Amino acid sequence: MHMARRVGFGVWPNMAIGDALAAVREAEKRGFESAWIVESSLTPGKDAVSYLGALAVSTQRIGLATGVINLFSRSATLVASTMATLDEMSKGRIILGIGTGHWLISSYHSITFQEPLARMREYVEVFRKLVSGERVDYEGKHLRVKGLKLNLQPFRQRIPVYVATVSERLARVAGEVADGVLFVLTSPAKVTELVKTVREGAESAGRSFDDVDVACYLPTFMMKDAEKAMRGARHTVASYGRSIHYRRLYRRMGYRKEADLLKDAWTSGELEKAIAQVTERMAKELVVVGSSEECLKRVEDFRRAGVKLPIVQPLYTPGDLDSNVKPCISAFGT
């Protein structure tokens, strides 16, 4: 069974750059629409922009997205300049995936985390104006830009913007201002709820919901070793549970007890204890795990829930593309 429909490819942040290039080139060959480079604001490591520069010059057709960068750690002016440059390098294939992150970044970037929703609205507006090549005078509550025109000729005057969210309030903002919304670790039932909020946001802004794409990261575990696949799935759900944002999301999806136990485990820094709190049922609801048939079927559940662009994100073991990454590309490619 092969999918002729839209599918994206997610690159884990621990993927060696050589392996990332090989995997994305293979995904491009197999008809994947876009590649999304994870950049973590929770545990800063490799940055997405450097990966995209390498991919821009070593691929031809596949869309290339930040998945996602943080609006507190980079100014809208810098991101407009960066994305416009990458868009020229890739001949018009760049997508800006942007998120608000969380209060922890205050202690990483010497900034204050405040009013993320209002900041997102202003950020997208300033980014769009700058990328279009116009001279910008903008006086917002959070962003102020005086008499600035980027010293470049935009390859495209509009670069798509996707807002990442796991909350209703930001989903609504995405519906109001963005070209797309990006979910992660969200069950099909929760996707349906969030999509309703995105639609309300779009309609409140006088936009058609059809003009807003709905993408969702789907961490995927399709190894022959079923036990290893399930451990990887549980490990991933537990790792996200370090963040209060994801624990809140787990609670909203009915995993209140697991969220509390994850908090206790991470407070004492015990990875194995954290993994033990994630049940098989919870893992199977939040990520894609199992045989190729089971994984293909599970992705269909997300499509039915309202995901227009599933982003298959195969677990990557350092130095190993064969056990999971290549099988996923093969199963989901055309």
List domains and CATH numbers for the chain. Answer: 8-222+290-332 (3.20.20.30), 226-289 (no CATH)
d(CA 128, CA 257): 42
d(CA 281, CA 304): 20
Per-residue pLDDT at 4: 57
Per-residue pLDDT at 104: 59
Q: Identify which has the larger pLDDT, 284 or 109.
A: 284
Peptide bond into 68 cis (omega under 30): yes
d(CA 258, CA 247): 9
Q: Encoding tokens for residue 148?
A: 């600035």
Q: Encoding tokens for residue 198?
A: 């995105």
Average pLDDT of the residues in 85-98: 98
Q: Identify which has the larger pLDDT, 199 or 108.
A: 199
Q: Is the dihedral of CA 22, 317, 268, 241 positive or negative?
A: positive
pLDDT digits (tens, 9 = 90+) for 33-43: 999 999 865 56
d(CA 47, CA 52): 9
Per-residue pLDDT at 1: 40
Spatial contact of 52 and 66, defined as CB atoms under 8 Å apart: yes
d(CA 152, CA 309): 31
Look over the chain and give the mean of its residue pLDDT values, rounded to a whole number. Answer: 93
Q: Which of 317, 144, 97, 136 is nearest to 222 (CA)?
A: 317
Which residues does residue 97 pair with via DSSP β-bridges, in sequence order?
162
pLDDT digits (tens, 9 = 90+) for 100-140: 866 556 655 456 657 889 999 999 999 999 999 999 999 99
3-state secondary structure of 138: strand
Q: Which of 136, 114, 291, 165 is nearest to 220 (CA)?
A: 291
pLDDT at 273 over 90: yes
d(CA 142, CA 114): 10
pLDDT at 3 over 60: no
Which residues does residue 117 pair with via DSSP β-bridges, in sequence order?
none
Share above pLDDT 90 across residues of the chain, in percent, rounded to a whole number: 86
pLDDT at 73 over 90: no
pLDDT at 193 over 80: yes
Per-residue pLDDT at 2: 44
Q: Encoding tokens for residue 126?
A: 């300033």
CA 176 vs CA 140, 162, 197, 198, 201: distances in Å:
17, 12, 10, 8, 5
d(CA 308, CA 296): 15
Per-residue pLDDT at 12: 87
The vertex-330 CA angle with 183 and 307, nearest 5°, equals 20
Residue 95 backbone dihedrals phi, psi, to 5 degrees: -130, 135
d(CA 32, CA 27): 5
Categorise residue 167: left if φ over 0, alpha if ψ from -120 to 50, beta otherwise: beta
Q: Identify which has the larger pLDDT, 327 or 105.
A: 327
Average pLDDT of the residues in 330-334: 94
